Each structure stands twice: as structure tokens, then as C-alpha cells.
Amino acid sequence: MTPASNQGRFAKRLVRNDDGVTVVEFALIAPTFLLLLLGTLDIGQMVYAQSVLNGAVQTAARDASLEGGDTQAADDLVLARVEGIMPGVELDTSRRSYYDFADIDRPEQWNDSDDNGICNDGETYTDENGNGQWDQEIGVSGNGGANDVVIYTVRANYEPIFKVPFLPDAWAERTLESSAIKKNQPFADQADYSSAAGACN
């Protein structure tokens, strides 16, 4: 037999040999499968956490809208409900109060003589929220008083449980947010907006 024919036979045997194919296939498929599995688990945790956060924020907003409602207790309730789902969660809470629903996202009234949408150049305004300056957004920080409308917002920062090892920065931290709008109970007379006037610089 010539060396060429030996090589030909060896090549045919090599082509037919399927030893180790499973290992190669696993090496090609495993990373993709693990990425899909971890991604699915991560999305599941995020969706569940968002749902629990929404429910907790709704309950806390309602509890704080009652006469004598304790805002700290409401914040603690939200934390107690989500900390088991979001490891190491840190909450950032805020409340903005308004006289009525129609006041949300509106500026204080002013004489916009130059039609630029900003109070400036000595234009006069009504300091409706009583803070001594013109505000593009009339809301006041805090839980407001009787009959006031309050937007309660919670931002939750946490570390996902299921992290993809190939993308550590993308899975380092996640932020979820939820808001609830409630009207405080009419347990007293509602304080009206101020009618003090001012002039913008």
C-alpha cells in the first residue's frame, strides 16, 4: 500500500468518526441556552417585582391619604413588601401635592407678555403655592392637607438575582418605579392656593 492510499483510508475513517460530537455540540449550544435561561429568569423576577411594587405603592398611598396618615409607616410598608423580592433594595420616595387633579403639571399663573412660556423680564405672576417664586410646576413637596391630590412616587434600586456572566455591567443594578395618585380624605377644610403676587427676573 502506498502512503497516499493509507492517507485516503485514514481520511475516510476520520470523516465517518463521530466520537466527541456531543461535546462539541454542547460547547456550541450551552452558552446560548444559559443566556436564554438566565434572561428568562431575570425578566420573570423583574415583572414580579414590578407587580408587587405597584400593589405596595397603591396601598401605601391610600394609607397616607387618611386623616393622620403616617407617611413614614407607608414608606416602611412598601419596603417590607419588596425587600424579599429585590435583594439589597433601596427606596427613593417622593410626594407632590396639588389643590386639584387639574393642577397636576401646570405652571403658576403669570402674565406671559413675550409669549415664550417662561416667567421672565419682570412679568408678573401669582405665587399660588406660596414659596416666594414662580414655578413651572405648581406642585408642593409633601403629603399635602385635607382634600389635596397627592402623587406618591417610589423608585426602587436593587441588584438582580439572575445575572448574565458575560455582561456584568448590564446586570449590575436595576431601577423600577411606580406612582399612585390619591386624593386625601376631606377631614378638614382644604387650604386654597395663595393669591400673593410677584414679578420674575
Q: What is the pLDDT, as a whole number, of residue 2?
A: 63
The domain ranges of the chain are 3-199
The whole-number mean pLDDT for each consecutive block of 10 residues of the chain, a chain of 201 residues, reads 66 69 81 85 93 97 91 96 94 96 94 91 92 92 94 95 73 91 92 89 84
Q: Where are the beta strands (DSSP E) in 24-120?
A: 90-98
Q: What is the pLDDT, as a whole number, of residue 119?
A: 92
Q: Where are the beta strands (DSSP E) in the chain?
A: 90-98, 124-126, 140-141, 149-158, 174-183, 197-199
Instruction: Tell me the whole-structure pTM to 2 decimals.
Output: 0.79
